[in-house]
Amino acid sequence: MSIDGICVCASVNFTKSSNYINKNGEHPSYLSAIWWDGLVLKEEELKEKKWLYIGSDSEEDKKNQLMFLKMHKGWIPILE
């Protein structure tokens, strides 16, 4: 299997399924990935096929995570 981009994780919190939710109230499945263009940090930006990050990282850490993901066209692994 080939995956474009690189894995980018600022903290363990970004790898937890329970820290993401979609418009249907679902969490991502374990051993899946969220790509840079599928992550949002504000509820008003949440649309179909996007994941809202609801984890406990600081606002600065959330913004840095998103910035690095965009810069590298990266992805986050969902490990737990």
pLDDT at 37: 95
User: How far is it, in rounded angstroms, from Cα 3 to Cα 69?
Assistant: 14
User: How far is it, in rounded angstroms, from Cα 69 to Cα 8?
Assistant: 6
pLDDT at 3: 57
Are residues 6 and 69 in contact, defined by beta-carbon separation less than 8 angstroms? no
Range 40-67 average pLDDT: 94
Domain that holds residue 20: 12-77
Q: Which residue has the tokens 């474009």?
A: 4
Total count of domains within the chain: 1
Q: Is residue 11 predicted with pLDDT exceeding 80?
A: yes
Whether 7 is in a domain gets the answer: no
Whether 1 is in a domain gets the answer: no
Range 23-50 average pLDDT: 95
Whether 67 is in a domain gets the answer: yes
Are residues 21 and 27 in contact, defined by beta-carbon separation less than 8 angstroms? yes
Whether 6 is in a domain gets the answer: no
Whether 5 is in a domain gets the answer: no
The model's pTM: 0.89
Q: Is residue 18 predicted with pLDDT exceeding 80?
A: yes
